[in-house]
Structure 1
Amino acid sequence: MANLNKTVLILGANSDVAKQCILQYLERGFSIIAASRDLSSLAEFVSENKINSSKITLIAFDAADFSSHQNFYDELPVKPNIVIYAAGFLVENKDALQNFESAKRMMEVNYMGAVSILNIVAMDQSNKNLERIVGLSSLSGVRGRKSNFIYGSTKSAFTQYLAGLRQELSSRKIIVNVLVSGYINTKINEGLELNKNLLMEPDYVAEHIVNAGNSFSIVPNFKWKIIYHILKLLPESLVSKLP
């Protein structure tokens, strides 16, 4: 198979979307390096899905432990062809406003950790295998809204970082994509009151990541594409009326 000797590094591999990416990349012949703080949960996932242990490597990774990132990258068993940043953390806006530690945690995982590790990945010019970096962002980062602007600000910053990184790496023919998703039926959204008609399943979202093309932004589902474009075009007077 064409992808037999290619490797995907998935950072934040315990997310529901990331796990579906693992399965779909494996189906396409890739090997996987799955990185997460919770290796026991990943090991259970590997066992439950009867994944061939020769095709997947589990490695500890903490997005917020910035000082460990260089050593983490240096010790990878093989330098990746594709890197997916799927780590994420979310608390409700009220909590983030009243408790800076909660806000800081979102900043560290959703943005600062991403910049820390992806800078290391991108600046390793000795890795001639690298062909693509994909970051998981959110429609929450398209416009600031009073219901989730602190979380949204971390995703907005991440999207802008990826846009610049795409330009930085274009001369090396490395593609950078951002997945701008709406509501996904995942554990990070448990307990939130979301419109079920707009909920996407993790495997559906993962399919768009695995099949990413050359365009920068990936917005799964035509309903969310419409919402995405409306949000970008709405005047501030109308955005302020949104929840």
Structure 2
Amino acid sequence: MNKNTNKTVLILGGNSDVAKESIKQYLQKGFFVMAASRNTKSLEEFVSKNAFHAKVTVLYFDAVDFDSHQKFYDDLSAKPHIVVYAAGFLAENEKALHDFGSARQMMQVNYMGAVSILNIIAMDKRNKSLERIIGLSSLSGVRGRKSNFVYGSTKAAFTTYLAGLRQELRQRNIVVNVLVIGYIRTKINEGLQLNESLIMEPNYVAKFIVNAGNSFAIVTNFKWKMIYWILKVLPESLVAKLP
């Protein structure tokens, strides 16, 4: 019997390309999936196209409607064993610098919404089933760079939050992971000039989500691990020369 039978995964931001690939892979492992998004129509079409009705429930979730988060969690038909926060929003740095609405949207979706809903989930000690929380962050949050530091700051904040949450939940044997992601061929990156040799496919990234182990920071593939560690140790004078 599959050890994951009757276990549930809640994916917040379930309409992203990586989230949809994660849904497929969690189902292959025997999980039941609750996929939540503002765009339920797109998710329902995805579920219908792949005939996932028996194992996937589509839910409405708005990351920036903070007041609705407690009710959203209370109304879940089953409390999750695994939670994946995959919601994200990206505005170009130049726009974010001149239009605070864009900057605020990134802050609310990438960080504030995550803290709001994950605090509710993590602090429910009645849910003895909770095993793991996974957040999707970015290499942009490793060091501030002039090309994307507003977006990067929201991801840096999210990573720091998850690091602390990991310590908070350690005594309850709940694992917290952060996926530190580079370029992915997804809707959010359409139109951006990116190095083609570094772009990853959504199904590749999804494998790291569904197979997450005990390490906190998960960096996909050798190239991005090298970039991650270079960014970590690079002197400020050299970081300033990066785009």
TM-score normalised by structure 1 residue count: 0.99
State the match for 1:107 in structure 2: 107
Listed one character per residue, the Cα deviations across residues 46-73 of structure 1 (whole Å, up to 9, x for unaligned) are: 111121x121111100000000000000
CA distance in 2, matches of 1:7, 1:73: 14
Listed one character per residue, the Cα deviations across residues 113-166 of structure 1 (whole Å, up to 9, x for unaligned) are: 000000000000000000000000000000000000000000000000000000
State the match for 1:2 in structure 2: 3
CA distance in 1, matches of 2:73, 2:94: 36
State the match for 2:56 in structure 1: 56
State the match for 1:232 in structure 2: 232
CA distance in 1, matches of 2:157, 2:14: 21
Listed one character per residue, the Cα deviations across residues 71-124 of structure 1 (whole Å, up to 9, x for unaligned) are: 000000000000000000001000000000000000000000000000000000
CA distance in 1, matches of 2:74, 2:202: 31
CA distance in 2, matches of 1:4, 1:237: 52
State the match for 2:38 in structure 1: 37
Instruction: Report 1:66-215 matches (<5 A).
Output: 66-215=66-215
SS in 1 for 2:184: coil
Q: CA RMSD in A?
A: 0.4
Amino acid at match of 1:58: V
Matched, 1:25 2:26: yes
Deviation at 1:208, TM superposition (A): 0.5
CA distance in 2, matches of 1:224, 1:142: 12
State the match for 1:16 in structure 2: 17
Q: How many residues were matched structurally?
A: 242
Off by >4 Å, runs of 4+ in structure 1: none
CA distance in 2, matches of 1:235, 1:162: 26
Listed one character per residue, the Cα deviations across residues 171-190 of structure 1 (whole Å, up to 9, x for unaligned) are: 00000000001000000000
SS in 2 for 1:14: coil
CA distance in 2, matches of 1:19, 1:217: 22
In structure 1, the gaps of 5 or more residues are: none
SS in 1 for 2:111: helix
Amino acid at match of 2:41: S
Amino acid at match of 1:79: K
CA distance in 1, matches of 2:57, 2:124: 21
CA distance in 2, matches of 1:43, 1:79: 21
TM-score normalised by structure 2 residue count: 0.99
| Percent identity of paired positions between Structure 1 and Structure 2 | 71
CA distance in 1, matches of 2:56, 2:51: 11
Amino acid at match of 2:34: I
CA distance in 1, matches of 2:192, 2:163: 30
CA distance in 2, matches of 1:46, 1:121: 25
